[in-house]
Structure formats: structure tokens, C-alpha cells
Amino acid sequence: MHIDWAALGSVFGVSLIVTVALVGLFTLGIVGLSKREAASAQGDSATLAVTGAYACFAACAAAVTYGIYLIVA
């Protein structure tokens, strides 16, 4: 019997890292947007936080696109 431990291990590692990274990035994006919410309440603009937030969301969107590519290919 041949069990592909290497494949199982990489599924384990990749899933763990990608999930945590994606959820982390996405949460950071939400944090950034929420800074704008707070800032606009005081009349500021919080440009840095908003730019960071959109960068995070863009990275997540890229990951989703790669996911769709994996499904199609």
C-alpha cells in the first residue's frame, strides 16, 4: 500500500498557511476601512489606512482569481 504522505503533508501545510494568511489579510483590510469610518467622523481622511486596506483586499481578490484559475485549469 502506498500512502502519499508528502502530498498529504503539503495539503496540510498549504491549507493552513493560505487560510490564515487570507483571513488575516482580509481582517486587516476591514480594520483599515474601519479606521476611515472613525477618521471621517472626526473630519480626517486616514489615507494610509485606506490604501493599505485596498491593498489587502486586492491581494485577497488575487487569491480568489487564482482559485478560479485552479478550478478551470
Residue span 44-63 as binding mask against other proteins, x where in contact by CB under 8 A, dash where not = ----------------x---
Instruction: Tell the smallest beta-carbon distance from residue 2 to other proteins (Å).
Output: 7
32 to each of 2, 6, 18, 55, 71, how far by Cα in Å? Answer: 48, 38, 21, 10, 31
Q: Does the footprint of other proteins cover residue 10 (CB under 8 A)?
A: yes
Q: Return the amino acid letter for 52.
A: G
Nearer to other proteins, 43 or 70 (CB): 70
Q: Does the footprint of other proteins cover residue 40 (CB under 8 A)?
A: no
